[in-house]
Amino acid sequence: MDFGAFDGVAAWIAGGALVAGYLVGSLSFAVLVSRAYGLPDPHTYGSGNPGATNVLRTGRKAAAAWTLAGDAVKGAVAVAVARWLWPDAMLLASLVGFAAFVGHLWPVWFRFAGGKGVATAAGVLLALDWRLGLAVAAVWVVAAKGSKMSSIASISAATAAPFVAAWVFGLGPELLPITAMAVLLVVRHRENIRKILAGTESRIGSKASGR
C-alpha cells in the first residue's frame, strides 16, 4: 500500500498505526517495574522522572535494568511492527516511532506524567536502522564515561541523532520525526541543563533524595 500521500484508506490505517504506537509508548516501565519490586513510585523521589536513571537511585540495579530494557523495547517493537507490516513505508515507521516516544513523554495510562524518553528513543532509532541506533548509543556511552552524568550523555546523543540519521537516510522526510524527537528530548532535559550550569546536577548512580 502506498503511504506517500496518506489519503483515503491509507490515511486511516496510518492514523491507527500512530495511535497504536502512542498507546504502546504510554506503558511506563519505571512505574510498572517499581510496583513489581515493591519500590516507591518513581515520581515521588530523586528527579521525579519515571525512567531507569531515577529508578537506579533506589539502589536496585535489576529494577533499573528492567526499566531501561522495557522502555527501549517498546520503542523498538512499535517501529519493528510498522516496518514488518509496511516494509516500504520508512516514513510511517519513523512516525510510529515518534508516536511511541511521545507516548512515553505524556502517557495516557499514567495521567500524562512521563519520562524524558532516552531509552525509548534509543529503541526507536535501533529499529529504524541498526547503524543509527548503535552510533547514537556510542555517543551516549562516550559522553557518560566522560561526564558521569546521564543528562549530558542524553543531550549529546540527542544532538547527534539528526546528523547520524542524515548520514544513514539522507535528507528524506523520515529525518523530520527523528529531529523532532531529538528536540523534544533536549527540551525535556531543560531542568538538568540548569543544574549542569549551576554545578548541582547529580551523577550516575547517586542515591535517591527528596525532589
5 or 22: which leads in pLDDT: 22
pLDDT grade for 87, boundaries at 50, 70 and 90: confident
CB–CB of 124/76 below 8 Å?
yes
pLDDT at 210: 43
pLDDT at 7: 60
pLDDT above 60: residue 1: no
79 or 210: which leads in pLDDT: 79
pTM: 0.89
- Pairwise CA distance, residues 93 & 36, whole Å: 31
Beta-carbon contacts of 24 under 8 Å, excluding residues fewer than 6 positions away, are 74, 77, 78, 100, 103
Q: What is the DSSP letter of 151?
A: H
Summarize the confidence of residues 61-87 as an average pLDDT. Answer: 95
pLDDT above 80: residue 10: no
Q: Which residue is listed with cell 559522553?
A: 143
